[in-house]
Amino acid sequence: MSSTLETIKDQISTNPVLLYMKGTPQMPQCGFSSQAVQALMACGQKFAFVNILEHPDIRAELPKYANWPTFPQLWLSGELVGGCDIIMDLHQQGELLAMVEAAAQGQATA
């Protein structure tokens, strides 16, 4: 197993709310990452992020591991939620808040 894959698995397992994105929450580098950050911030919980633009190894490996080709990627309690469209749909339906709160409190989201 590559060290990059180990890093990804460690990030996912140790951060209950984790966003892989382009840029940072303060300076998103793409519109999709910006939308995802805004939806997450509206939930009022702390979340971890990984700027894939600074980590080309993770940018290359994560889509294979997650079986999800695009960024951003939101992970809650070790489970892939999805990308921007799914995040925004969940946010608009009022479901994202409960999912993020449950993950932040260490409860399973499934």
User: What residues does each domain of the chain span?
Assistant: 3-104
Give me the helix-helix angle, 31-42 and 95-104, nearest 10°. Answer: 70
The C-alpha atoms of residue 51 and residue 58 are separated, in whole angstroms, by 9
- Topology of domain 3-104 in CATH is Glutaredoxin (3.40.30)
3-state SS, residue 13 = helix
51-103 pLDDT, tens digit each: 999 999 999 999 999 999 999 999 999 999 999 999 999 999 999 999 999 99
User: Does the pLDDT value for residue 1 go beyond 60?
Assistant: no
SS3 assignment, position 16:
coil
Q: In the beta sheet, which residues pair with residue 23?
A: 28
